[in-house]
Amino acid sequence: MGSTSGSAKKAKSDSGSRDSKKKKRQKHPDAPKRPPSAFMLFINSERENIKAKNPQAKLTEIAKIAGALWQEMKEDAKQKYSDEAAKRKEEYLQKLQSLPPVSSSS
């Protein structure tokens, strides 16, 4: 009994997976890279300090340490990074608006 229900589940999941994939939205070839978030600005600025204090730490451990530091930070300390992220996002949006539309005929 158990084996028939397992195969029925597998057949059910296989049938809809290929047909339901979404097409990727066409990206403008000259589009700028998305701006970093406030947290990414923070981690980029603190990565070397964290590495210096934890020379044996792997990349994942560094990310965990940085995440813990970010959580402990007060909002006014985070504001510096939030302001920079907002400024970069505004510049990014202005650049996106100035791009000509992508032609769909290729």
pTM equals 0.68
Does 56 reside within a domain? Answer: yes
pLDDT tens for each residue of 48-84? 999 999 999 999 999 999 999 999 999 999 999 999 9
Domain of 91 in residue numbering reads as 33-98
Q: How many domains does the chain have?
A: 1
Does 55 reside within a domain? Answer: yes
pLDDT at 101 over 70: yes
Does 62 reside within a domain? Answer: yes
pLDDT score, position 106: 46
Tell me the C-alpha distance between 86 and 92, whole Å: 10
Any idea what the CATH number is for the domain that residue 62 is in?
Answer: 1.10.30.10
Does 4 reside within a domain? Answer: no
What is the CA angle 12-14-15, rounded to 5?
70
Does 22 reside within a domain? Answer: no
Does 73 reside within a domain? Answer: yes
pLDDT at 9 over 70: no
Do residues 39 and 81 touch, judged by C-beta distance below 8 A? yes
